[in-house]
């Protein structure tokens, strides 16, 4: 088989977010998280629920197994039976995320999507993030509009904000990050093979917690690689979201 691509490590790293999640709704936003969720369901997390992108819960072969209009979807969120992986236009060291706008909120230089469901997601169900291009534009000292709530702000907002708040991981094209540090600052959890600590540091606009030993993102199994390449994404759309970079 040809070597594992960066995009394929990203699929694996996203899939791992849903390991041991049990019977919950996996809500991937973005192409590679979608491939990751499907890979997880096909292999180590078969109990996951997936939608068709509209209001139906569907099996891997497309069989309808349930109905999930937006209002029930929101109850999956507040009931905690969901793990979402959202995008982030900006994210800071405590996991505060912004998808609303860039610049001053009252008159933004760039209007983006709006807060959408980020505030309710962050406080109610595990919320991970996917960043297809790890850069200082995204990983910033301070986000312009806090949509998804980070650990510092959740703690400051009191027990009802922190009660179900959890950011399991942030996956990027370079690495996997988490908040498994005493004060919940972002930590470099694993590097995708071929990436150096220095590369991640340069692409991050704040001081990242870097342990002495940083493992590599795990290798896909032969079965997983075949599923990604032959079943889940035979058209190789993943390479358009995360292209192969020239070797560093």
Partner 1 sequence: MTADEVVSRLTSGMTLGIGGWGSRRKPMALVRALLRSEITDLTVVSYGGPDVGLLAAAGRIRKLVTAFVTLDSIPLEPHYRAARESGSLELMEIDEAMFMWGLHAAANRLPFLPVRAGIGSDVMRVNPGLRTVTSPYEDGETFVAMPALRLDAALVHVNRADRLGNGQYLGPDPYFDDLFCEAADAAYVSCERIVDTAELTKEAAPQTLLLKRSSVTGVVETPNGAHFTSCAPDYGRDEAFQKLYATSPYAEFAERFLHSDEHAYQSAVQAWQKEQRP
- Give how far Cα 109 sits from Cα of 91, 100, 106, 143, 156, Å: 18, 11, 10, 14, 29
Among 146, 191, 195, 228, binds partner 1 (CB under 8 A): 146
Binding window for partner 1 (CB under 8 A); candidates: 37-45, 99-107, 133-141, 207-215: 99-107
Among 44, 58, 116, 135, binds partner 1 (CB under 8 A): 116
78 binds partner 1 (CB under 8 A): yes
Among 13, 85, 101, 227, binds partner 1 (CB under 8 A): 101
Least spacing, CB of residue 116 vs partner 1, in Å: 5
Give the span between the Cα atoms of 216 and 190, in whole angstroms: 5
Contact (Cβ atoms closer than 8 angstroms) between residue 155 and residue 125: no
93 binds partner 1 (CB under 8 A): no
What are the contacts of 210-216 at 24+ separation with CB within 8 A? 211/187, 214/188, 214/189, 214/190, 215/189, 215/190, 215/191, 216/190, 216/191, 216/192
The two tokens of residue 120 are 């309710």
Give the span between the Cα atoms of 130 and 211, in whole angstroms: 22
Among 31, 40, 147, 191, binds partner 1 (CB under 8 A): 147
Among 160, 181, 183, 196, binds partner 1 (CB under 8 A): 160
112 binds partner 1 (CB under 8 A): yes
Least spacing, CB of residue 208 vs partner 1, in Å: 23
118 binds partner 1 (CB under 8 A): yes
Restricted to residues 177-206, the positions that interact with partner 1 (CB under 8 A) are none
- Give how far Cα 248 sits from Cα of 126, 195, 199, 209, 245, Å: 34, 8, 9, 23, 8
70 binds partner 1 (CB under 8 A): yes
135 binds partner 1 (CB under 8 A): no
């Amino acid at each position: 088989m040809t070597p594992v691509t960066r995009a394929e490590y990203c699929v694996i790293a996203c899939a791992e977010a849903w390991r041991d999640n049990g019977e919950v709704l996996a809500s991937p936003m973005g192409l590679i998280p979608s491939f990751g969720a499907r890979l997880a369901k096909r292999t180590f997390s078969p109990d996951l629920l997936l939608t068709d992108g509209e209001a139906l819960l569907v099996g891997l072969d497309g069989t309808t197994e349930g109905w999930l209009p937006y209002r029930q979807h929101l109850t999956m969120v507040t009931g905690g039976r969901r793990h979402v992986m959202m995008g982030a236009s900006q994210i800071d060291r405590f996991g505060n995320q912004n998808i609303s706008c860039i610049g001053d909120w009252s008159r933004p230089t760039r209007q983006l999507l709006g807060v959408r469901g980020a505030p309710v997601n962050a406080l109610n169900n595990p919320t991970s993030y996917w960043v297809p291009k790890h850069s200082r534009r995204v990983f910033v000292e301070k986000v312009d509009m806090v949509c998804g709530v980070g650990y510092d702000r959740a703690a400051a907002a009191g027990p009802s904000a922190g009660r179900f708040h959890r950011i399991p991981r942030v996956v990027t094209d370079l690495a996997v990050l988490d908040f498994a540090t005493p004060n919940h600052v972002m930590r470099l959890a694993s590097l995708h093979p071929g990436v150096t600590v220095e590369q991640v540091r340069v692409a991050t606009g704040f001081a990242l917690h870097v342990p002495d030993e940083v493992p590599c993102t795990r290798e896909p199994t032969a079965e997983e690689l075949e599923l990604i390449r032959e079943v889940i994404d035979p058209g190789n759309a993943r390479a358009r979201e995360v292209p192969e970079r020239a070797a560093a």
